[in-house]
Structure formats: structure tokens, C-alpha cells
Amino acid sequence: MTTVHDLYARISDDFTALLVGCPPDRWEEPSPCPGWTAWDVAAHVIGNHRRALAGLDGSDYESPSRGEDLLAAWHSASDEVKAALLDPSRAETMLGDDFGNMPFAAFVNRMACADTLIHTWDFARATRQNERLDAEAVQLATEMLTSEDSDIRLPNAYGPKVAAANSADDQTRLLNFLGRNP
């Protein structure tokens, strides 16, 4: 059984590789998220990480702003999440109502298995990089999200399902379920 830390590390490392590999002229390319560029997707993922970390101690956070070094911001946020997951007291810190009243590690598991994972694909698609996602993370995200089908169809969240072809692989089925059409 993969630990939350190990799963998160793999997903965050995949996102890191895409940020590092992003050609300078592709940051403003449109993403599969309506109205968002590749830069917007990366800033959103970083902002969610900062928000989760702020939930540990009730501090304030800010989403990245234009001109901020997104790669440095990502390294900082993902390294802090990894460190918190390895600290038992921080990993089990209960996050409040904004996070569903769950321990930090459980929230990261959900965030990594859904938001970060799916936006890894969005960023890869926007920047024309390798779109292959971690197979175990795809399986876990599918299990988690399919049980919440009606709850995730909110405005500015996941879009309407796209019918998956019979021959679609697990990743494509998950992306179709979340309204993406690879």
C-alpha cells in the first residue's frame, strides 16, 4: 500500500518535471480549463498547496501573482507539504470547515489524487508535454471521484462527463469522467 507521502511525492515530482520542461513561450497557451492558461493552472495548483499549508496553523496565504517565479513557488510549497506529511503531528492536524474537517494528510491525499493529478494533465496538454499520469494515482482518483459524482459537478469545478470510448484506457476514462476530452 502506497503511503500518502509516497503518492504525493510521485504526483508532485511529475508536476515539477512539467514546470521545469515548459518552454518559455508556452506559459500563456490555453489549457483545457476554460479561460485558463498554462500559467493559470500552475498558479491554481500552487495556491491550493499554500491554502492547505495555511490550514495547518491558521495563517494567511496568497495565490501566486504575475511576475512571481512559479517554479520556485512550487518547489517551496511542495517541499513544505512533503515535510508536513513526514511529521506525524502535522500530518494528523485537523483542518477546519474550509477543508472538510479532516486531517492534513487526508486532505493532501484528496488534493493530490484529484486536483494536482488532473491539473498535471491540463498543464501537460497546454504546454504540449508528456500527458501520461501516474497509473496508481489515476486508479485512486477514479475510485474517490466516481463516488462523489454529483458533488463535483459545481460551477468552476469539473465539467459534464464526456462519453468514453469502449477502448479507452483508465486515464482517458477518468479524464472523460471529469469533462476532459483527450
pLDDT at 170 over 70: yes
pTM of the model: 0.94
- pLDDT reading at 103 higher than 90: yes
3-class secondary structure, 103: strand
Residue 142 in grid coordinates: 477514479
Query: Average pLDDT for residues 171-180, to the nearest whole number?
Result: 94
pLDDT in tens, 6-18: 999 999 999 999 9
Q: How far is CA 58 from CA 26, 51, 93, in A?
A: 35, 10, 11
Map residue 30 onto helix, strand or coil.
strand
* pLDDT (mean) for 29-43: 96
Is the pLDDT assigned to residue 147 strictly greater than 90? no
The residue among 73, 167, 133 whose CA lies nearest residue 178 is 133
**Whole-number pLDDT of residue 156:** 65
Residue pLDDT, tens place only, 153-168: 776 677 788 999 999 9
What sections of 58-102 are H helices per DSSP?
Answer: 70-86, 88-91
With 70 as the cut, is the pLDDT of residue 1 above it? no
Q: How many Cβ atoms from other residues are within 10 Å of residue 1's Cβ? A: 4
Amino acid identity, position 163: A
Asked whether 10 and 137 are in contact (CB, 8 A), the reply is yes
How far is it, in rounded angstroms, from Cα 31 to Cα 82? Answer: 27
Confidence check: pLDDT of 110 > 70: yes
Q: What percent of the chain has pLDDT over 90?
A: 79
10 within 8 A of 3, measured Cβ to Cβ: no
pLDDT for the residue 159: 78
**How does pLDDT run across 81-94, given as a tens digit for each residue?**
999 999 999 999 99
